[in-house]
Amino acid sequence: MSGSKIACIGVIGKDDDPLHISLFPPYEDSTVEFSFLLNSCLDIFDIRQKQTSIDQDLGLLHAVDERLAAYGWLTNTGIKFIIVMDLVEQPAPIGNKEPKNSAVAGLRDSDLKPVFQALQTAYVQLLQNPFYSPDDRAPIARAATPTASMGLKTKFATEIKRIGNVWSSGT
């Protein structure tokens, strides 16, 4: 079986504004649902920050249902990475005798640490590029003229998709 898969990756700014959201199969058409889910995770970040001094890896933020679970990572600059996992195994290839759509026992928090580190590395590389301007994400600036940083955002989005597509609980 293929194990659990990433359903959504969200990059949230320090002012709780969504900087990037990537959805993965079979959830590409669930933008509103995952936007709501990512927004609800921000409350958990706030609660944990107030209660204790927290590490970068927040681990499981909350289990949405028997299928989806949200995990979080906080950078020292206040950027939040949220990964929503689909914990129900996908159907096995034809000829495989294992049952289809069985639940996975769950993930250890450390299982996602390499994914969060890869996401943070991709984000840092975006910020280090001298042609990227974080202020270009303002709606007025976006509507006025295309900028050089638009291509960089596309490259970043492609890297996020690659990270999400490559990872599975079995790797």
Q: Counting Cβ atoms within 10 Å, is residue 136 exposed (0-12), middle (13-18) or buried (19+)?
A: middle
Q: What pLDDT shows up at residue 131?
A: 82
Token look-up 């042609």 returns 131
CB atoms within 10 A of CB 135: 8
* 3-state secondary structure (DSSP) of residue 140: helix
Q: What pLDDT shows up at residue 132?
A: 80
Q: What pLDDT shows up at residue 69?
A: 92
For helices 113-128 and 149-166, the axis angle rounded to 10 degrees is 170
Token look-up 């928090």 returns 109
Tell me whether strands 68-74 and 57-63 are parallel, antiparallel or unpaired. antiparallel
C-alpha–C-alpha distance, residues 14 and 75, integer Å = 9
Q: What pLDDT shows up at residue 115?
A: 92
- Global confidence as pTM: 0.80
CATH assignment of 5-166, among 3.90.700.10, 3.30.70.270, 3.30.450.70, 3.40.50.720: 3.30.450.70
Q: What pLDDT shows up at residue 47?
A: 86
What are phi and psi for residue 82, nearest 5 degrees?
A: -125, 130
C-alpha–C-alpha distance, residues 130 and 119, integer Å = 19
Q: Counting Cβ atoms within 10 Å, is residue 115 exposed (0-12), middle (13-18) or buried (19+)?
A: buried
Token look-up 């994914």 returns 115
pLDDT in tens, the chain (171 residues): 457 899 999 999 988 999 999 999 889 998 999 999 999 999 898 888 777 666 677 888 988 888 899 999 998 888 999 999 998 865 544 444 444 444 445 566 678 889 999 999 999 999 888 888 776 554 444 444 455 556 667 889 899 999 998 886 555
Q: Which residues, at least 6 apart from 158, have a Cβ–Cβ distance to it below 8 Å? A: none
